[in-house]
A = this chain, B = another copy of it.
Amino acid sequence: MGMVGGGRGAFIGAVHRMAANLDGKIELVAGCFSSDPEKSKLSGEDFFLDPSRVYTSYEEMAEKEAALPADKRIDFVSIVVRNNLHVPVAKAFLKAGINVICDKPMALSLAEAKEFAEIVKSSGKVFALTHNYTGYPMVKEARAMVKAGKLGRLLKVVAEYPQGYASSAFKEAAPSKIANWRMDPNVSGVSNCMGDIGSHAENLARYITGLEIEELAAELTTFIPGRSLDDDGNVLVRYQNGVKGIIYASQVSTGDENNLNIRVYGTEGSIEWHQEHPNELVVKFLDKPREIWRRGNSYNGPEASAFTRLPFGHPEAFIEAFANVYLAASEAIRDELAGKFPRPEGYDFPNVDDGVAGMAFIEATVASAKNNAAWTKPGH
């Protein structure tokens, strides 16, 4: 694979590389790791790359890689740049005939996302979006349960994503660098908290339940002085079929870490999953003992088992879930390289439709919040 972004010191780039490395089937062979050529070069050395395949611009990389013979060029590119460059970089590689795995959120706006979705679809190439939390086996187990109707008719969804890391800003003289670009609408998009993590909560609910949002009422808040974008948001949701929901996210939930949780309630049962204890899925059926479904057991369904590497009791975690997006996307990429893409039964990774839904969600929350939490239908 190749990589755009993610040079020395970048958190998410390192995660993508660990995820790609894990199974020993993907090798990083080319990259453009920084807009600073020197930094890109040094990062290439860190990763033991042939210097001739460390590029100084993504355009150059797309062009030159495409010009290599099929058995030499990268099979796909992994895009881990700032939000505003996701679409431009992805477009360049798709145009060059190269498959893409891209960090989220997919685009800066719904309009950009929709236009880009057309490009992806007409490209015939693979596009995967790393909504990594859907990669956890017990999330897949939850989805399979819902699909099989084990919870009965769905009634309610509560997806929450409180983080507290930004609260350190309350006592800082000057905000940190990472906060800076996340708070810049030109780079980050119309929302910070909803764009960065609210969209994960939304995607997780979407993945498990398969439900589309009909309308939502959102309250976004900027608690940290001097910032222009939200750091907290609470959303009432009306899903299809009369299902009600709450989605909330926060970066100022002091003391919380990466506390993504979801509960889905149906007429006959409910499930509960906590990202910080990802190997367990709590399942509650009416008038029965509560059940804890644990990863790696013989009673796990095929959806979870296919994405499980270790036996029960040997915990898997964030990297493995992230690697599962790569694993599922790799299957599609192999199919594409073999001229067999797409399979009729589909693939189990977040795709461009999820990206469009995510952008529609983000824009709708911002629009609703500007309109005093008026009910707002996400665009399509």
Question: What are the interface flags for A143-172 relative to B under an 8 Å C-beta threshold, 1 for contact and 0 otherwise?
Answer: 000000001110110101011110110110
Do the beta carbons of B223 and A155 come within 8 Å of each other?
yes
**CB proximity to B under 8 Å, residues A208-222:** 217, 219, 221
Do the beta carbons of A18 and B24 come within 8 Å of each other?
yes
Nearest Cβ distance between residue A259 and chain B, in whole angstroms? Answer: 7
Given contacts A279-B276, A319-B319, contact A289 B291 (CB under 8 A): yes
Do the beta carbons of A319 and B318 come within 8 Å of each other?
no
**CB proximity to B under 8 Å, residues A246-299:** 246, 248, 250, 252-259, 263, 265-270, 275-279, 283-294, 296-299
- CB of A310 within 8 Å of the partner chain: yes
- Residues of B near A47 (CB, < 8 A) are 24
Question: What are the interface flags for A202-243 relative to B under an 8 Å C-beta threshold, 1 for contact and 0 otherwise?
Answer: 000000000000000101010100000000101010100010
Do the beta carbons of B299 and A288 come within 8 Å of each other?
yes
Do the beta carbons of A375 and B372 come within 8 Å of each other?
yes
Nearest Cβ distance between residue A72 and chain B, in whole angstroms? Answer: 15
Closest to A25 in B: B48
A170 to B152, CA, bound (A): 10
- Residues of B near A252 (CB, < 8 A) are 155-156, 265, 267
A interface size (C-beta, 8 A): 92
- CB of A379 within 8 Å of the partner chain: no
Closest to A26 in B: B21
Given contacts A152-B170, A254-B269, A258-B313, contact A283 B289 (CB under 8 A): yes
Do the beta carbons of A156 and B253 come within 8 Å of each other?
yes
Nearest Cβ distance between residue A337 and chain B, in whole angstroms? Answer: 16
- Residues of B near A48 (CB, < 8 A) are 24-25
- CB of A39 within 8 Å of the partner chain: no
- CB of A317 within 8 Å of the partner chain: yes
Most buried by B among A15, A297, A299, A319: A319
- Residues of B near A266 (CB, < 8 A) are 254
Closest to A11 in B: B311
- CB of A67 within 8 Å of the partner chain: no
A286 to B288, CA, bound (A): 18
A263 to B256, CA, bound (A): 11
A151 to B252, CA, bound (A): 12
Do the beta carbons of B313 and A257 come within 8 Å of each other?
yes
A236 to B216, CA, bound (A): 12
